[in-house]
Amino acid sequence: MGCECSKLASCCWAGQNGPVHEAKNPDDEEKDEVSDLPTFREFTVEQLRIATSGFAVENIVSEHGEKAPNVVYKGKLENQRRVAVKRFNRSAWPDSRQFLEEARSVGSLRNNRLANLLGCCCEGDERLLVAEFMPNETLAKHLFHWETQPMKWAMRLRVALYLGQALEYCTSKGRALYHDLNAYRILFDEEGDPRLSCFGLMKNSRDGKSYSTNLAFTPPEYLRTGRITPESVMYSFGTLLLDLLSGKHIPPSHALDLIKDRNLQMLTDSCLEGQFSSDDGTELVRIASRCLQYEPRERPNPKSLVAALFPLQKETEVPSHVLMGISRNSETMPLSPLGEACLRMDLTAIHEILEKLGYKDDEGAATELSFQMWTNQMQETLNSKKKGDAAFRHKDAKAAVECYTQFIDVGTMVSPTVYARRSLSYLMSDMPQEALNDAVQAQVISPVWHIASYLQAASLFAMGRENEAQIALKEGSVLEEKKNTTS
């Protein structure tokens, strides 16, 4: 091991009832305030339906069990901002006013240590939250289910510090309660930095339980009273420190027994061998032990936790994404011919590629008609599509728009390719906003279709929205790469 287990055991146990010493935190308290995020807003169900491609199964990033059937989707707003959308069970928040008050309160928080809440939706029976999207998975994934490399000691310490800073910030803003703090609530942003999900700052329902995890990890006072307190959050923080130390989800009672028996080899992740000193291990176990005290009043507060964790930090100059071994979106892959054509706004090249592709990506939609009743209206609908295809082939943009519009308006058959072709026809007619609308609709129908993202990029370039266009272009590249890999 990278530390002497017997020495570590005797040190940490002898000192576990001592105070968590306050060390001067050189960081300015306000340094992590976020200024470039939009203010909290209310969305309509339709806006979030479009953002998540109709709440498509392909966009689900997490879902709970039957007791708390709340689902989180990844999505994309009109301005290309990627978001996480939490959709509550319809019976979770019957009082719309209470839901809005809670959401607005959480939405007033803005900090770089949080996956911040951007808005909500309270329409009819629907209750949804909209937060920043974190693209690099959860702590549970990187700690318990890693594929390429285990999380390094320096990164584990950084996770602990950043989480403590997140809780300290929330406490300073009057939101000290966090529901069911666990490794799935810590997410990693584009830079690989850990962030605390804002969703846990609200309950799963107005009267719902604050903890849904195994009772072995639940604060003892919660089992007695059913109520969460700031001290309960500190207990959960202690369980997370054990997760970081062991690389496993060890029940606190078992971990404390190991510490008492000075059997820390069973507690420490073997993947960490040689990465930390006995003093550092001693201190982390001591902090965890303090958080796990049976009596709530004996646990530290977030401010003292941050002060204790700060001096332990290692490799502070190394970016998180390097420690994590993950690539950032800014490190872009080479563009495909279609991506290049959209970047150059070469409408002729885009047209050539779409024409060559045909209706290959419509997933059988074009053949569904053979099983339907042939009526005069159906024949007219098919004729509109055929005329549109002929006009598109000859680059008659105006006629293509007219014919495809007739086909779409009937609504008998939904085709992402028709929307894509009409989108390009609008671009050829110098109507970029209409082109963007159609490209978005193509993605609603086919959530992971790279061509829809590429056409959104082309439309945004045409409108002079450079930054948003670049985001859409990157998304198209990622989706195209995934498609090529799977095929």
Catalytic residues: 180
Q: Measured at the alpha carbon of residue 116, what is the angle toward residues 111 and 119, in degrees to the nearest 5?
A: 135
Residue of 329, 353, 355 lying closest to 473 (CA atoms): 329
Cβ-based neighbours of 344, under 8 Å, separated by 6 or more:
none
Q: Are 456 and 339 in contact (CB under 8 A)?
A: no
Residue 309 tokens, joined = 């964790």
List, edge to edge, every strand of the sheet that includes 71-76: 41-42, 117-123, 126-132, 82-87, 71-76, 60-63
Residue of 295, 167, 288, 163 lying closest to 219 (CA atoms): 295
Beta-bridged to residue 111, according to DSSP, are 33
Q: Are 199 and 68 in contact (CB under 8 A)?
A: no
Query: Following DSSP, what letter does each residue of 273-312 receive, concatenated?
Result: TTSS-HHHHHHHHHHHHHHT-SSGGGSPPHHHHHHHHGGG
Element at 258 (helix H, strand E)? helix 252-260
Residue that the structure tokens 């019957």 belong to:
94
Residue of 241, 210, 242 lying closest to 228 (CA atoms): 210
Q: Burial, 355: exposed, middle or buried (Cβ in 10 Å; 0-12, 13-18, 19+)?
A: middle
Residue 63 tokens, joined = 């879902």
CA distances from residue 152 to 146, 156, 182, 188 in whole angstroms, order as listed: 12, 6, 19, 15
- Between CA 284 and CA 251 the distance in angstroms is 17
